[in-house]
Structure 1
Amino acid sequence: MAVPAPRPRLGPAYRRHASRLVILAGALGLTLGGCSFDLGSWGSDDKPKTSAPVADKPADTITSQDISSAKDQAARGQDLARAGKTDEALAAFDQALTSDPYNIQALYGRGVIYQGRGQHQQAVEDFTAASGLSPQKAEPLIGRATSYLALDKAREAAADLDEAVQASPNNVAAWSARGQAYERLGDKAKAAASYNRALALRPRDESARSGLARVGG
């Protein structure tokens, strides 16, 4: 497996969207650079639905011991990430994916770390793999949409968030982020509808309230 790329310098494009990313991160329950996340009962017992997303390791060569080791490393990575030890967490997620390239928790967790470091293309790749392995989950779609917005790909972000709200209609983060995507695209009607839905689900959502004020909903 390739060694993770070093943390890049924050260029003009990243700085331009920093404030938007902080708002989105709050809505998604992510802390940029701090990696606050929880995948709940997600596991890696799902049968692979796509080709190997990370390593050139055929599915039929993955043993039960590999799967167990990956689960342990992924859980360790989450604990380290929550403690703010992102370098160690990244190493744990990498180790998990070396054992089992289909471990969804490791893919998602590593994507969150990459996102927090501004490595958005790498985050997109991990969120894409996680989403392909668990297409009914909204979280990887929301994560990928956040990075798409950082990469000035609002249309792709909106498409992901359309899918996310279908998969999880009561997901406040998905609706709030969808509002921001459509606001970026200049579609005030869809942005307002999304922010209103987020507020209906969580009346004190300040991100959605601010967004609604911006689009005049």
Structure 2
Amino acid sequence: MKRTNMNILKKTLILLFVGIVSLSFAQDINEAGTAFNDGNEAYKAKKYAEAVENYTTSIDMCQLIGADAADLQSKVEAQLVNALYKNSLTLYKGKKFDAAVEELEKTIKAAEVAGNDKTAKKAKAYIPKVYSSEGMGLVKAKKYDEALAAFDKALAYKEGCVNAYYGQGLAFKGKEDIDAAIKSFEAVVANGAGKAKADKTVKKAKSAGQKMLEANAAKELQIEHTQKAIDYLNKSLDFGANSANTYYMLALAYNKQKKYADAISAANTGLTIEGADQSSIQFELGKAYEGKGDSANACTAYKAVVSGPNVKAAAFQVKEVLKCK
């Protein structure tokens, strides 16, 4: 009798234990599902940070439950990737650059777990963009060293990043490190060649490089450093040969060096470019021909000076010096 009662008690306890475990399991998986649903609601409301938190909680619960929650866990992991990516973009738009990068790195890891190669690729591509944007903001604030550090981070993630090289060039320009700026702008051109998406940045780099060199050439001319000016101007032609002012300054510099043939060549090229200051270039052309001993062409050039600050000087050469007919 005692043995029978003992067996009944054991069976009762076992059934009670199984019932408790089953109830606990059901509660756990339900809670994991609830966290998943809460995450979905937050995602729909574009509350991506909240969605990430809920999805992470759900995954933690699924991992504790084990194999029985595997299907749910797979669904949550897939949606976590989307929430992380969206949240990283939100942080980026809010100019929280470091936090955005951290979230993008989490996106990559989560995408690898979920087998989402497409989003992993997008996240990897976005990281250098974030650092480049941060760098450009620092350039505008004239925090050039900090900007350069940001661009270095971008290049560490993506070798040959044209946006990073362009910003780097602007930062070096701001620091008046002309040689370094030239190398950065050249890197934009080299790495962006033949790439449609990089075309706009390549054009900006060429324009920035050309204008920087032209401006520095003008400074060198003012202090009579004619050869340095010529070097800058010739280098500027690598970035763009459509500036009449470049050829005007080349003619001016070559005249100062008495390299009249070079001055004539530069002046004639400048005259063919739309928007050229014809009178200023013609005055330098006249000086070059005069220096070369070609009075006839000098007269023609001086007579073409009809506006600007050199009109009287050109007229004097025509009437008093060359005695032009």
With the shorter chain as reference, the TM-score category is 0.5 to 0.7
Aligned to 1:125: 231
Of the three residues 296, 299, 310, the one matched with 1:189 is 296
Aligned to 1:180: 287
Of the three residues 65, 73, 78, the one matched with 2:164 is 65
Aligned to 2:185: 100
Aligned to 1:166: 272
Q: Secondary structure at the match of 2:243?
A: coil
Assess, with a 3 A threshold, how the Cα gap between structure 1 residues 139 and 62 changes in structure 2: closer, same or farther.
Answer: farther
Whether 2:115 is the aligned partner of 1:115: answer: no
- In the TM superposition, structure 1's runs of 4+ consecutive aligned residues that sit over 6 Å from their partners are none
Answer yes or no: is the 8 Å Cα contact 1:97–1:106 preserved in 2: no
1:190 Cα shift?
A: 0.9
Specify which structure has the higher proportion of helix: 2
1:207 Cα shift?
A: 2.8
Assess, with a 3 A threshold, how the Cα gap between structure 1 residues 176 and 94 changes in structure 2: closer, same or farther.
Answer: same
Whichever of the two has the greater Rg, that structure is 2
1:161 Cα shift?
A: 0.8
Aligned to 1:141: 247
Assess, with a 3 A threshold, how the Cα gap between structure 1 residues 152 and 133 changes in structure 2: closer, same or farther.
Answer: same
Structure 2 residue identity aligned to 1:148: Y
When normalised by structure 1's length, the TM-score is 0.56
Answer yes or no: is the 8 Å Cα contact 1:179–1:211 preserved in 2: no
Structure 1 residue identity aligned to 2:182: L
- Name the CA distance, whole Å, in 2 between partners of 1:185 and 1:164: 19
Whether 2:239 is the aligned partner of 1:154: answer: no
Higher relative contact order by CA 8 Å / sep ≥ 6: 1 or 2?
Answer: 1
Structure 2 residue identity aligned to 1:152: K
Structure 1: state its 5+ residue gaps.
1-59, 77-87
1:143 Cα shift?
A: 1.1
Q: Secondary structure at the match of 1:216?
A: coil
Answer yes or no: is the 8 Å Cα contact 1:108–1:126 preserved in 2: yes
* Cα displacement string for residues 160-210 of structure 1 (whole angstroms, at most 9, x for unaligned residues): 1111112246522111111111111111111111111112x5597223223
Query: How many pairs were matched up?
Result: 143
Aligned to 1:216: 323
1:93 Cα shift?
A: 4.4
* Cα displacement string for residues 11-48 of structure 1 (whole angstroms, at most 9, x for unaligned residues): xxxxxxxxxxxxxxxxxxxxxxxxxxxxxxxxxxxxxx
Q: What RMSD over aligned residues (CA atoms) do the two structures have, in Å?
A: 2.8
Assess, with a 3 A threshold, how the Cα gap between structure 1 residues 95 and 209 changes in structure 2: closer, same or farther.
Answer: farther
1:106 Cα shift?
A: 1.1
Answer yes or no: is the 8 Å Cα contact 1:165–1:171 preserved in 2: yes
* Aligned residues with identical type, % of pairs: 15
